[in-house]
Amino acid sequence: MKKQSIGLTAIAALLAANVAFANNVDLNGYYSTQHPQTMSNSVKATMFPPTDITLINGSSDIIFAVVPGSPINDVIYPTKNDHIRHNTYAGLTRIMLKDPSNSVFFDNYLCRLAVMTVYGQPGNYQWNVDNELCN
């Protein structure tokens, strides 16, 4: 009975360690269209980042895209888009979108290849998140 209890405790500890490790994301590894990663052109040409989230501003005013804790705090103008990328992380990314007065209207996790389009105007935003590429 004691061996069984020790074994179950060890398994639980291993599972907890794996979950904690999976949540340990290098937030400084994020870069975007507006804040490109510094590297040579030959390296850029061969890279396909595991995280490449596309944000499209189909609204009537600017929006701000933020990845909390990272250097990403981008302005996306109407009819423009932004790509949020990470070269080593292939999981969910927390994205905050703010209106021109810095009020948060979206704060959620997007899959690594999501395409999100924002419509409307400040105070009345709608959005569509396409996760098809994530499956």
**pLDDT score of 110:** 98
> How far apart are alpha carbons 49 and 124 in whole angstroms?
33
Architecture of domain 27-134: Sandwich (2.60)
> What value, to the nearest 5°, has the Cα angle with vertex 30 and ends 68 and 126?
55
Question: How does pLDDT run across 31-75, given as a tens digit for each residue?
Answer: 877 766 766 444 554 467 899 999 999 999 999 999 999 999 999
Question: How does pLDDT run across 71-113, given as a tens digit for each residue?
Answer: 999 999 999 999 999 988 999 999 999 999 999 999 999 999 9
For 68, residues 6+ apart whose C-beta sits below 8 A from its C-beta are 94, 96
In 3-state terms, what secondary structure has residue 18?
helix
Domain definitions of the chain by residue range: 27-134
**Biggest CA pair distance of the chain:** 66
**pLDDT score of 30:** 83
DSSP states along 54-82: EEEEEESS-EEEE-TTSS-EEEE-TT-EE
Write down the pTM of the prediction: 0.72
